[in-house]
Amino acid sequence: LPALPRLRFVRERLVRESDLSQIATAPSVSYIARLETGESVEFHNPSEMPEVQKIEHIEEPMLRISVLLPAEYTGTVMDLAQTRRGEMVRMEYLSPERIELVYRIPLAEVVTDFVDALKSRTKGYASLDYEPDGYAIGALVRLDILLNSEPVDAFSSVIHRDKAQNHGRALTEKLRELIRIPTVSHAEEAATDPGPFEEFIAALADAFPLLHEQLTLHRILDHSLLFHWKGSSGADPGALMAQSDG
């Protein structure tokens, strides 16, 4: 069975046969932060990440993966690997019908649902082998989820800068659906290191027609942005506000 169905199966058996409830947490990855002082700090979760002003760069663990698959699924598997920030090392035809793809890919992109996505795209015919392949510098940021302006550590994550915007929006929109109370004011926020501010504003402006509530962007100090989706009464849902505090 793929990993996620197997997890559900095991959880159901534990509840049914042993009356045990479980708390499932996301798998963690160890990162190394190189500080401007020359020190190195290894951290395993976002709360241990040093202050961004002190970090020179962050290194993430890498894997060398080998995928054996029928030739007809080559395109979709290559797309999956590239979407997960994989770099192709080698592609070899083992026979006219079978191919071996070798990629170097971040561990963080594999530990969640990579195997399930691989099996789904190849109808279960692909097989995966992997081995550690050192560390590599990554454009990583800490993504914090705030409820009513208060950060919630359980929702924090270390994520690649290019994926932070979409991931933060998806989480806040899901939270808004789950905790919506019509008569109570609430806010869900996602904060992260933005990169170029102007590019970020343009990207959000393009996506704004999909949103149904007001959006306020706040620059926090000089190194982070705060997504702020806040419910409004009587306000124009098509209005977009973007303001910078620095």
pLDDT in tens, 7-35: 677 778 877 887 777 666 667 789 999 99
Distances (CA, A) of 128 to 6, 62, 233: 17, 15, 52
- The pLDDT assigned to 24 comes to 64
Cβ 35 vs Cβ 55: under 8 Å: yes
- Its pTM stands at 0.64
Query: How far apart, in whole angstroms, are the C-alpha atoms of residue 122 and residue 128?
Result: 12
Q: What percent of the chain has pLDDT over 90?
A: 34
Scanning the structure block, which residue is given the tokens 């962050």?
58
How high is the pLDDT of residue 224? Answer: 40
Is 90 exceeded by the pLDDT of residue 131? yes
Look at strands 214-220 and 240-242 and give their pairing. parallel
Which residue, among 216, 213, 218, has the nearest Cα to 235 in the 3D structure?
213
Check residue 206 and give its pLDDT. 55
Question: Residue 214 has what pLDDT?
Answer: 39
pLDDT of residue 66: 95
88 contacts 110 by C-beta, under 8 angstroms: no
Quick one: average pLDDT of 110-122?
89
Tokens of 160: 């690649």
